[in-house]
Amino acid sequence: MAPKSYCVNPRPKEFWSSLHNPAAMEVAVSPAPKRTLRIALIGNPNTGKTTIFNNLTGLRQRTGNYPGVTVSRKAGTMKLGDTTAELLDLPGTYSLSAHSPDERVVIDVLNGRFEEIGKPDLILFVADATNLRRNLFLASQVATLKIPMVLILNQWDSVARSGQQIDLNLLKGRLAVPVIPTVGTKGKGTEEIKKAVIQLMEEPKLLPEIKWPESMKLAIDHLKATLPCVGEELLSESETHRLLFDTHSAEVQRLKVSPEEAEREVVKAREFIRKDGMNPLVAEAMLHYRHIDGLIGGIVLKDAQLAYGATESIDRLLLHRGWGLAAFVAMMYVVFQAVYSWAGPVMDVIEAGKIWAQNLIGPALEGTPMLKSLVLDGVIEGVGAFLIFLPQILILFAFISLLEDSGYMARAAFIMDKLFSWCGLNGKSFVPLLSSYACAIPGIMATRTIEDPKARLTTVFVAPFMSCSARLPVYILCIGAFIEPVYGPWWAGFTLFLMHFVGVVVAVPTAWFVTRFILKTRSQPFIMELPKYRAPRMRDVGYRMWQAGWEFVQKAGTIIFVITIIIWASLYFPRSEAQEIEIQATFVADKVADGAGSEEAILAQLENEDSDLAREFGLTLAGAQINQSYMGRIGKAVQPIFEPAGFDWRISISVLASYPAREVIISTLGIIYSLGGDVDEEDGHLRAALKNSRWQEGERAGTPIYTVPVVIGLMVFFALCSQCGATTSIIIKEAGIKWAVASFLYMTILAWIGAVFCYQVGTYLF
């Protein structure tokens, strides 16, 4: 018995009318609740699709992820007269071909595979007007889903400059769907698109569908009969095409049968096509383009004398083997300096604002120490912990938007691809990795520009290895206290230089391993369209900055805030009055033994909060409380794990306490050594305290803790370890909890191995 066939029928005319006319809805389907019209925006990369999306939705946008995949999902609300529609901006793609669940997002959305999204009622297809034939290949594939469509010919103002003429009226007649010429960067055509949507709601129109030969129909029928789909629904015709035409199709994952059995049936189905004299792997493209040529024949006329324009002239310089690389280096230097240096003054203002708020609120909470610590060191510190990254994120995304919209980003990816392709990354990985040298947070967010999902995941995974600015205080403290005094400034500078490359040395083989053995990425040629150069629209740049900043504050900021509160609680509790009395008694006894005065005299000085002795006791108390806190107890418990690296319990506590941000280790060491939390990496007292620190027990009792091998191991540990709660939170946001956990564990284990190796080998040699 032949299985039930699956097809997607166009919506009845009454359905569309009811969406536009509430009264008609009551007559046609009175029992059904009114719902929002769903519209999918689809097109090739570099067609200005995002600009069209921004024009149609404005700031009424939201972002997220598609269920079960790492692809970013962007949706917005489009006003259509008195009604609204939900507009979904699908990832740019050249075809419906998919080899992984991430790449399958477009066809899954168009087939209604995501229940919370539903199947689109209408499609807005954005095409580059200067490359109409190639763009219509995807449109022809989409037409097989039988969803009403509006064809948007963007960059219409470039048609004449490219030496082309398009007979718009003839094109509209041939395609039988609304065709709207637009100039997205100038906002032209936006209202015409909305009018066309309203017309389609009243009278649905479909793009002419390809007429398949009989051999193709036999092949599709064979697959439907032999490859049952998981669940009650059968594969749609467009999904069956992917099984038939694609090598290693992701649609195999929907089938009840094993991949091996599916492959056997696909081979049998392809025999029908071979017997018809066609190669199954190129038949789809050949037949679609034959269909397209029939639709647009005589519509597009080209003037060969005008084909060579400004873009080609500029590319002669920017794609030159020598000058192109020099221009790229100069451009990346400007981007890096902007993220690293230009954001500094704004970050200083945020830091000053945080301190101002703490100083303002602190005196009002003097009578409640726990509440004061919670508000100052937990809440305000937690808010400041994520707001401090905002200037870097905004600046980086401003540059990314300018580079993408101008057309240069594609050239930069082309130039750098040869350098990265061998380890599974592509040219677009360079900007995120370079940006991660300033801060991994904006660097990881910048991976959104990488279309290849696997290359994007790999870049996210290795970006935290880049030596960000938060590691610098650790390097300066260790090098300034232990390397420079012994070996001189030249070796100090050379050590600092080398520390910035430790992460790169590990990141490159890590990327190769992840792509080869974890993601199992197949080697593929790097094919990228080089769009025409055009002037970026500042409104779109502003949108991009606003979206990135708001998304970071709303999502990653929440996680960073929670992590900061947890770390604060683990450093604060448990505390009791009896504990403070005991610490004070020990302090007084030590001072009496040192001859600082009688017990009564010392207690009298402690009553005076402005006395030097009272301030000294306050620092001693803070250090002792950290020592006895939950974090201190955990640090002592895990100290045996760090002992092979030469770390004592104080280093272990500092390492754990610095998880919210690496540079926190400086203030934590200051508190532990009773110097206060306001010390910095160049503080002479802190450096002296570290030099004079000795092992208190065990075989190494009395020997210095901070030797050169220990210091180098500590720097290597911070160079490799994922000691940044903000980075972990942004990985959760961009790649999911599994990748965040894997990144944290992998980097921590690798950092421990590196620290142990440096200490053991260094101790043996020196």
Instruction: Report how far residue 240's alpha carbon sits from residue 3's, in angstroms, rounded to the nearest whole number.
Output: 14
Question: What are the helix (H) ranges across 362-429?
Answer: 369-373, 381-387, 390-406, 408-420
Query: For residue 478, is it within any domain?
Result: yes
CA 655 to chain centre: 26
164-166 and 300-302: which strand pairing? antiparallel
pLDDT greater than 80 at residue 370: yes
pLDDT digits (tens, 9 = 90+) for 583-626: 888 888 888 888 888 888 888 888 888 888 888 888 888 878 88
Q: Which tokens in the block code for residue 442?
A: 């904006």
674 φψ region: left (φ > 0), alpha (ψ -120 to 50), beta (else) = left
pLDDT greater than 70 at residue 174: yes
- Rounded to the nearest 5 degrees, what angle is found at the Cα of 386, between the Cα atoms of 75 and 670? 165
pLDDT score recorded for residue 571: 82
SS3 704: strand
H/E run at residue 72: strand 72-80
Over pLDDT 90: what percentage of the chain? 24
* Residue labelled with tokens 């067609």: 47
Query: For residue 51, is it within any domain?
Result: yes
> Which pLDDT band, with edges at 50, 70 and 90, does 2 fall under?
very low
Q: What residues have CB less than 8 Å from 95, skipping those under 6 apart?
A: 137, 138, 141
Looking at the structure, tell me whether residues 754 and 650 fall in a common domain. Answer: yes
Which of 114-119's residues contact partners 24+ apart within 8 Å by CB, and which partners? 114/66, 114/67, 116/67, 117/38, 117/88, 118/38, 119/8, 119/38, 119/147
pLDDT score recorded for residue 486: 85
**Residue scoring higher pLDDT (115 or 213):** 213
Instruction: Report how far residue 248's alpha carbon sits from residue 391's, in angstroms, rounded to the nearest whole number.
Output: 43
Looking at the structure, tell me whether residues 75 and 184 fall in a common domain. Answer: yes
CB atoms within 10 A of CB 749: 12
Give me the DSSP letters along 273-306: HHHTT--HHHHHHHHHHHHHHHHHTTTEEE-GGG
Looking at the structure, tell me whether residues 222 and 129 fall in a common domain. Answer: no
* Residue labelled with tokens 């108390």: 621
H/E run at residue 466: none
User: Do the Cβ atoms of 382 and 564 come closer than 8 Å?
Assistant: yes
Query: For residue 35, is it within any domain?
Result: yes
> Which pLDDT band, with edges at 50, 70 and 90, does 35 fall under?
low
83-89 and 37-43: which strand pairing? parallel
CB atoms within 10 A of CB 271: 14
Instruction: Report how far residue 196's alpha carbon sits from residue 202's, in angstroms, rounded to the nearest whole number.
Output: 10
Query: For residue 294, is it within any domain?
Result: yes
**Residue scoring higher pLDDT (535 or 100):** 535
61-65 and 72-80: which strand pairing? antiparallel
User: Do the Cβ atoms of 207 and 177 come closer than 8 Å?
Assistant: yes
**Count of positions (residues) in the chain:** 766
Q: Which of 325-334, 442-451, 709-718 is predicted most confidently?
A: 709-718
**Residue scoring higher pLDDT (450 or 747):** 747
Nearest to 724 by CA among 748, 757, 755, 742: 748
Looking at the structure, tell me whether residues 138 and 266 fall in a common domain. Answer: no
Looking at the structure, tell me whether residues 151 and 234 fall in a common domain. Answer: no
Q: What residues have CB less than 8 Å from 32, skipping those under 6 apart?
A: 25
Kindly state the greatest CA–CA separation across the chain: 107
Q: Which tokens in the block code for residue 237?
A: 């015709």
Per-residue three-class SS string for 472-494: HHHHHHHHHHHHHHHHCHHHHHH
Instruction: Report how far residue 103's alpha carbon sits from residue 92's, in angstroms, rounded to the nearest whole number.
Output: 10
Task: Using the 3D structure, point to which of 141, 176, 202 is the last residue of a domain.
Answer: 202
User: Do the Cβ atoms of 441 and 389 come closer than 8 Å?
Assistant: yes
User: Do the Cβ atoms of 445 and 95 come closer than 8 Å?
Assistant: no
Looking at the structure, tell me whether residues 153 and 278 fall in a common domain. Answer: no
Looking at the structure, tell me whether residues 64 and 176 fall in a common domain. Answer: yes
Residue type, 423: C
Q: What is the mean pLDDT of residues 308-327?
A: 79
pLDDT digits (tens, 9 = 90+) for 42-83: 999 888 898 899 899 886 666 665 555 556 678 889 988 888
pLDDT digits (tens, 9 = 90+) for 112-149: 888 778 889 999 999 999 889 999 999 999 999 999 99
Strand order across the beta sheet in which 72-80 lies: 61-65, 72-80, 83-89, 37-43, 122-128, 149-154, 179-181
> Which pLDDT band, with edges at 50, 70 and 90, does 107 fall under?
confident
User: Do the Cβ atoms of 147 and 120 come closer than 8 Å?
Assistant: yes
pLDDT digits (tens, 9 = 90+) for 477-524: 888 888 888 888 888 888 888 888 898 889 989 999 998 888 877 665
Q: What is the mean pLDDT of residues 304-316?
A: 66
CATH number at 85 reads 3.40.50.300
pLDDT digits (tens, 9 = 90+) for 690-748: 888 888 777 888 889 889 999 999 999 999 998 788 888 889 888 889 999 999 999 99
pLDDT greater than 70 at residue 193: yes
- Average pLDDT, rounded, for the chain: 82
Looking at the structure, tell me whether residues 179 and 300 fall in a common domain. Answer: no
Looking at the structure, tell me whether residues 254 and 191 fall in a common domain. Answer: no
Looking at the structure, tell me whether residues 695 and 650 fall in a common domain. Answer: yes
Looking at the structure, tell me whether residues 219 and 179 fall in a common domain. Answer: no
Phi and psi at residue 437, to the nearest 5°: -65, -30
**Residue scoring higher pLDDT (32 or 380):** 380
Which of 46-50, 110-114, 401-405, 419-423 is predicted least confidently?
419-423
Q: Which residues constitute the domain of residue 131?
A: 14-202
Query: For residue 404, is it within any domain?
Result: no
SS3 525: coil
**Residue scoring higher pLDDT (549 or 646):** 646
pLDDT score recorded for residue 116: 79
**Residue scoring higher pLDDT (630 or 377):** 630
Task: Using the 3D structure, point to which of 162, 180, 202 is the last residue of a domain.
Answer: 202
Looking at the structure, tell me whether residues 238 and 190 fall in a common domain. Answer: no
Task: Using the 3D structure, point to which of 275, 306, 337 is the last residue of a domain.
Answer: 306
pLDDT greater than 50 at residue 394: yes
Which of 10-19, 400-409, 602-611 is predicted least confidently?
10-19
pLDDT score recorded for residue 528: 67
pLDDT score recorded for residue 681: 72
Q: 360: exposed, middle or buried (C-beta count within 10 Å: 0-12, 13-18, 19+)?
A: exposed
DSSP state of 45: T
pLDDT greater than 80 at residue 640: yes
Query: For residue 368, is it within any domain?
Result: no
pLDDT digits (tens, 9 = 90+) for 660-679: 767 777 777 877 776 766 67
Q: How many structural domains does the chain have?
A: 3
Instruction: Report how far residue 461's alpha carbon sits from residue 587's, in angstroms, rounded to the nearest whole number.
Output: 48
pLDDT score recorded for residue 525: 61
Query: For residue 429, is it within any domain?
Result: no
SS3 216: helix
What is the model's pTM? 0.66
Query: For residue 63, is it within any domain?
Result: yes
Helix axes 630-642, 737-765, angle to 10 degrees: 60
CA 162 to chain centre: 36
